[in-house]
Amino acid sequence: MQEDHFKCKLTTWDYIYDLCLDVADQVKDSGYGPDVIVALARGGWFPGRVLCDLLGLDDLESLKIEHYVGTARTGEDPHIRYPVAPDAVEGKDVLVVDDITDTGKSLSWAVDHIEEEHSPGRVDTAVLQFLESSTASPGYVGEVLDEWAWIIYPWNFIEDMVDLVGRVLGDEPLDMGGVRRELRERFELDGLWFEVAQPNRMEEVMEEAERRGVATRGGGGWLRA
Ligand code: ADE
Protein backbone atom coordinates (compact mmCIF):
# COMPACT_ATOMS: atom_id res chain seq x y z
CA MET A 1 0.00 0.00 0.00
CA GLN A 2 2.12 2.93 -1.20
CA GLU A 3 -0.15 5.38 -3.01
CA ASP A 4 -2.67 7.77 -1.53
CA HIS A 5 -5.66 6.81 -3.67
CA PHE A 6 -6.69 3.20 -4.07
CA LYS A 7 -9.78 1.12 -3.71
CA CYS A 8 -10.32 -0.66 -0.40
CA LYS A 9 -12.93 -3.30 0.34
CA LEU A 10 -14.02 -3.84 3.90
CA THR A 11 -15.02 -7.45 4.61
CA THR A 12 -16.85 -9.09 7.51
CA TRP A 13 -16.33 -12.28 9.52
CA ASP A 14 -19.47 -13.80 8.00
CA TYR A 15 -18.34 -13.09 4.47
CA ILE A 16 -14.90 -14.54 5.13
CA TYR A 17 -16.35 -17.62 6.81
CA ASP A 18 -18.50 -18.23 3.71
CA LEU A 19 -15.37 -18.12 1.56
CA CYS A 20 -13.78 -20.71 3.89
CA LEU A 21 -16.87 -22.92 3.43
CA ASP A 22 -16.56 -22.61 -0.36
CA VAL A 23 -12.88 -23.53 -0.30
CA ALA A 24 -13.53 -26.51 2.00
CA ASP A 25 -16.27 -27.76 -0.33
CA GLN A 26 -13.90 -27.53 -3.29
CA VAL A 27 -11.20 -29.47 -1.47
CA LYS A 28 -13.68 -32.18 -0.44
CA ASP A 29 -15.24 -32.39 -3.93
CA SER A 30 -11.78 -32.75 -5.48
CA GLY A 31 -11.09 -35.83 -3.38
CA TYR A 32 -7.87 -34.33 -1.96
CA GLY A 33 -7.32 -35.26 1.67
CA PRO A 34 -4.41 -33.24 3.05
CA ASP A 35 -2.75 -34.38 6.29
CA VAL A 36 -1.65 -30.93 7.36
CA ILE A 37 -2.39 -27.30 6.63
CA VAL A 38 0.48 -24.85 6.39
CA ALA A 39 -0.97 -21.38 7.00
CA LEU A 40 1.10 -18.47 5.73
CA ALA A 41 1.63 -15.93 8.50
CA ARG A 42 -0.24 -13.89 9.15
CA GLY A 43 -3.07 -13.71 6.61
CA GLY A 44 -3.46 -17.46 6.28
CA TRP A 45 -3.99 -18.07 9.97
CA PHE A 46 -7.72 -17.53 10.30
CA PRO A 47 -8.57 -19.35 7.05
CA GLY A 48 -6.10 -22.12 7.97
CA ARG A 49 -7.67 -22.66 11.38
CA VAL A 50 -11.21 -22.68 9.99
CA LEU A 51 -10.22 -25.04 7.16
CA CYS A 52 -8.77 -27.45 9.73
CA ASP A 53 -12.15 -27.46 11.39
CA LEU A 54 -14.12 -27.85 8.17
CA LEU A 55 -11.85 -30.57 6.76
CA GLY A 56 -11.32 -32.43 10.04
CA LEU A 57 -7.58 -31.83 10.40
CA ASP A 58 -5.58 -31.64 13.65
CA ASP A 59 -2.32 -30.41 12.22
CA LEU A 60 -1.92 -26.72 11.53
CA GLU A 61 1.53 -25.33 10.86
CA SER A 62 2.70 -21.79 10.27
CA LEU A 63 5.19 -20.46 7.73
CA LYS A 64 6.27 -16.84 7.61
CA ILE A 65 8.01 -15.61 4.48
CA GLU A 66 9.19 -12.03 4.18
CA HIS A 67 9.82 -10.15 0.97
CA TYR A 68 13.17 -8.41 0.81
CA VAL A 69 13.17 -5.38 -1.49
CA GLY A 70 16.08 -3.28 -2.67
CA THR A 71 19.40 -2.50 -0.91
CA ALA A 72 22.14 -4.52 -2.56
CA ARG A 73 19.61 -6.98 -3.89
CA THR A 74 17.92 -6.83 -7.23
CA GLY A 75 14.21 -7.51 -7.36
CA GLU A 76 12.61 -9.31 -4.48
CA ASP A 77 14.00 -12.27 -2.61
CA PRO A 78 12.07 -14.51 -0.31
CA HIS A 79 13.36 -14.81 3.20
CA ILE A 80 12.04 -17.58 5.42
CA ARG A 81 11.42 -15.72 8.67
CA TYR A 82 9.82 -18.57 10.60
CA PRO A 83 10.05 -22.02 8.97
CA VAL A 84 7.70 -24.95 9.47
CA ALA A 85 8.81 -27.67 11.85
CA PRO A 86 10.58 -30.20 9.56
CA ASP A 87 8.78 -33.32 10.77
CA ALA A 88 5.40 -31.58 10.48
CA VAL A 89 5.30 -31.88 6.69
CA GLU A 90 7.82 -34.61 5.79
CA GLY A 91 6.05 -37.29 3.78
CA LYS A 92 2.71 -35.58 4.39
CA ASP A 93 0.13 -34.26 1.97
CA VAL A 94 0.06 -30.51 2.51
CA LEU A 95 -2.45 -27.76 1.87
CA VAL A 96 -0.79 -24.33 1.88
CA VAL A 97 -3.35 -21.67 2.81
CA ASP A 98 -3.31 -17.89 2.49
CA ASP A 99 -5.96 -15.18 2.60
CA ILE A 100 -5.27 -13.64 -0.81
CA THR A 101 -2.95 -14.10 -3.72
CA ASP A 102 -2.01 -10.75 -5.23
CA THR A 103 1.40 -11.03 -6.87
CA GLY A 104 1.38 -14.77 -6.17
CA LYS A 105 4.92 -14.71 -4.80
CA SER A 106 4.23 -15.77 -1.23
CA LEU A 107 2.30 -18.79 -2.35
CA SER A 108 4.81 -19.98 -4.92
CA TRP A 109 7.77 -19.32 -2.61
CA ALA A 110 6.03 -21.30 0.12
CA VAL A 111 5.40 -24.26 -2.18
CA ASP A 112 8.98 -24.18 -3.49
CA HIS A 113 10.37 -23.97 0.02
CA ILE A 114 8.28 -26.87 1.33
CA GLU A 115 9.04 -29.03 -1.71
CA GLU A 116 12.77 -28.26 -1.73
CA GLU A 117 13.44 -28.44 2.01
CA HIS A 118 10.93 -30.79 3.54
CA SER A 119 10.28 -33.83 1.28
CA PRO A 120 6.50 -33.60 1.56
CA GLY A 121 3.98 -35.83 -0.22
CA ARG A 122 1.61 -33.82 -2.40
CA VAL A 123 1.51 -30.02 -1.97
CA ASP A 124 -1.55 -28.05 -3.03
CA THR A 125 -2.65 -24.47 -2.38
CA ALA A 126 -5.83 -22.66 -1.34
CA VAL A 127 -6.71 -18.98 -1.02
CA LEU A 128 -9.89 -17.19 -0.06
CA GLN A 129 -9.46 -14.49 -2.69
CA PHE A 130 -7.61 -14.39 -5.98
CA LEU A 131 -6.54 -11.25 -7.83
CA GLU A 132 -5.93 -11.44 -11.57
CA SER A 133 -2.48 -9.90 -10.94
CA SER A 134 -1.34 -13.18 -9.40
CA THR A 135 1.21 -15.29 -11.19
CA ALA A 136 0.37 -18.26 -8.96
CA SER A 137 -2.63 -20.46 -9.75
CA PRO A 138 -3.92 -21.84 -6.46
CA GLY A 139 -5.65 -25.21 -6.54
CA TYR A 140 -8.64 -23.94 -4.57
CA VAL A 141 -10.01 -20.38 -4.71
CA GLY A 142 -12.88 -18.94 -2.67
CA GLU A 143 -13.53 -16.09 -5.11
CA VAL A 144 -11.90 -14.30 -8.01
CA LEU A 145 -11.80 -10.50 -7.67
CA ASP A 146 -12.24 -8.81 -11.03
CA GLU A 147 -10.52 -5.57 -10.07
CA TRP A 148 -7.63 -4.84 -7.76
CA ALA A 149 -8.53 -3.62 -4.29
CA TRP A 150 -6.90 -3.64 -0.89
CA ILE A 151 -8.98 -6.04 1.14
CA ILE A 152 -9.48 -5.05 4.76
CA TYR A 153 -9.89 -8.35 6.58
CA PRO A 154 -11.66 -8.44 9.94
CA TRP A 155 -8.53 -9.78 11.64
CA ASN A 156 -6.59 -6.82 10.30
CA PHE A 157 -9.18 -4.12 10.74
CA ILE A 158 -7.39 -1.87 13.22
CA GLU A 159 -3.98 -2.21 11.56
CA ASP A 160 -5.34 -1.27 8.13
CA MET A 161 -7.59 1.51 9.37
CA VAL A 162 -4.77 3.12 11.37
CA ASP A 163 -2.64 2.98 8.22
CA LEU A 164 -5.38 4.63 6.13
CA VAL A 165 -6.10 7.27 8.76
CA GLY A 166 -2.39 8.11 8.78
CA ARG A 167 -2.60 8.74 5.05
CA VAL A 168 -5.58 11.14 5.25
CA LEU A 169 -4.37 13.21 8.21
CA GLY A 170 -2.10 16.20 7.68
CA ASP A 171 -1.34 19.63 9.12
CA GLU A 172 -4.97 20.83 8.94
CA PRO A 173 -7.21 19.33 11.63
CA LEU A 174 -9.93 16.96 10.44
CA ASP A 175 -12.99 16.18 12.54
CA MET A 176 -14.64 12.76 12.34
CA GLY A 177 -16.79 13.89 9.39
CA GLY A 178 -13.65 15.02 7.59
CA VAL A 179 -11.83 11.78 8.25
CA ARG A 180 -14.80 9.79 6.97
CA ARG A 181 -15.04 11.99 3.86
CA GLU A 182 -11.36 11.51 3.05
CA LEU A 183 -11.63 7.75 3.57
CA ARG A 184 -14.56 7.69 1.14
CA GLU A 185 -12.95 9.91 -1.50
CA ARG A 186 -9.47 8.39 -1.42
CA PHE A 187 -10.12 4.77 -0.59
CA GLU A 188 -13.73 4.25 -1.70
CA LEU A 189 -14.69 3.29 1.84
CA ASP A 190 -18.41 3.80 1.78
CA GLY A 191 -19.62 5.23 5.11
CA LEU A 192 -22.90 3.31 5.16
CA TRP A 193 -21.25 -0.02 4.49
CA PHE A 194 -18.58 0.82 7.04
CA GLU A 195 -21.22 1.16 9.76
CA VAL A 196 -22.84 -2.13 8.73
CA ALA A 197 -19.57 -4.06 8.55
CA GLN A 198 -17.85 -2.53 11.59
CA PRO A 199 -20.47 -0.59 13.56
CA ASN A 200 -19.26 2.15 15.91
CA ARG A 201 -15.57 1.43 15.46
CA MET A 202 -14.32 4.81 14.20
CA GLU A 203 -13.74 6.30 17.68
CA GLU A 204 -11.70 3.22 18.56
CA VAL A 205 -9.74 3.51 15.30
CA MET A 206 -8.88 7.14 16.06
CA GLU A 207 -7.92 6.33 19.65
CA GLU A 208 -5.69 3.54 18.40
CA ALA A 209 -4.17 5.84 15.76
CA GLU A 210 -3.35 8.23 18.60
CA ARG A 211 -1.97 5.49 20.85
CA ARG A 212 0.21 4.20 18.00
CA GLY A 213 1.64 7.67 17.38
CA VAL A 214 -0.04 8.18 14.00
CA ALA A 215 -2.63 10.81 14.97
CA THR A 216 -2.74 13.61 17.50
CA ARG A 217 -5.65 15.74 18.71
CA GLY A 218 -5.63 19.46 17.97
CA GLY A 219 -7.69 22.32 16.54
CA GLY A 220 -10.96 20.52 17.24
CA GLY A 221 -9.99 17.42 15.28
CA TRP A 222 -7.07 15.17 14.46
CA LEU A 223 -3.73 15.97 12.87
CA ARG A 224 -0.90 13.78 11.58
CA ALA A 225 1.31 13.08 14.59
N1 ADE B 1 -1.97 -8.76 0.80
C2 ADE B 1 -1.44 -8.73 -0.44
N3 ADE B 1 -2.27 -8.15 -1.31
C4 ADE B 1 -3.37 -7.77 -0.61
C5 ADE B 1 -4.58 -7.10 -0.94
N6 ADE B 1 -4.83 -6.71 -2.18
N7 ADE B 1 -5.48 -6.90 0.04
C8 ADE B 1 -5.21 -7.31 1.30
N9 ADE B 1 -4.11 -7.94 1.68
C10 ADE B 1 -3.18 -8.17 0.73
Q: Could you give the residue ranges of the DSSP H alpha helices within 60-104?
A: 86-89
- Helix, strand, coil abundance in the chain, percent, nearest 5: 40, 25, 30
Q: What is the pTM of this model?
A: 0.94
pLDDT for residue 163: 97
Reported as a single tens digit per residue, the pLDDT across 195-207 is 999 999 999 999 9
Q: Which residue has the higher pLDDT, 42 or 68?
A: 42
Check if 127 has its Cβ closer than 6 Å to any atom of ligand 1: no
Q: Work out the percent of the chain whose per-residue pLDDT is above 70.
A: 95
Ligand 1 midpoint to CA 116 (Å): 26
pLDDT for residue 21: 98
pLDDT for residue 77: 75
The residue among 56, 30, 54 whose CA lies nearest residue 124 is: 30
Ligand 1 midpoint to CA 152 (Å): 8
Check if 100 has its Cβ closer than 6 Å to any atom of ligand 1: yes
Reported as a single tens digit per residue, the pLDDT across 83-127 is 899 899 999 999 999 999 999 999 999 999 999 999 999 999 999
Check if 27 has its Cβ closer than 6 Å to any atom of ligand 1: no
Instruction: Tell me which residue has its CA closest to atom 9 in ligand 1.
Output: 151
Given a contact cutoff of 8 angstroms between Cβ atoms, the answer to whether 152 and 197 are in contact is no
Check if 151 has its Cβ closer than 6 Å to any atom of ligand 1: yes
Instruction: Name the β-bridge partners of 129.
Output: 100, 143
- Average pLDDT for residues 182-187, to the nearest whole number? 97
Give the separation between CA 150 and CA 90, rounded to whole angstroms: 35
Candidate from 143, 150, 159, 187 with most ligand 1 atoms within 8 A of CB, to mutate? 150
Q: Is the four-CA dihedral 25, 30, 35, 36 of positive or negative sign?
A: negative
Reported as a single tens digit per residue, the pLDDT across 14-43 is 999 999 999 999 999 999 999 999 999 999
Instruction: Name the β-bridge partners of 223.
Output: 216
Check if 107 has its Cβ closer than 6 Å to any atom of ligand 1: no
pLDDT for residue 67: 80
Question: Residue 78 — pLDDT band, cuts 50, 70, 90?
Answer: confident
Mean pLDDT, the chain, rounded, equals 94
Query: What is the crossing angle of helices 202-211 and 176-187, to 10°?
Result: 90
What is the SS3 string spanning 40-92? Answer: ECCCCHHHHHHHHHHHCCCEEEEEEEEEEECCCCCCEEEEEEECCCHHHHCCC
Give the separation between CA 203 and CA 216, rounded to whole angstroms: 13
pLDDT for residue 2: 52
pLDDT for residue 74: 52
Candidate from 151, 157, 161 with most ligand 1 atoms within 8 A of CB, to mutate? 151
Question: Residue 79 — pLDDT band, cuts 50, 70, 90?
Answer: confident
Q: 104: phi > 0 → left, psi -120 to 50 → alpha, else beta; which?
A: left
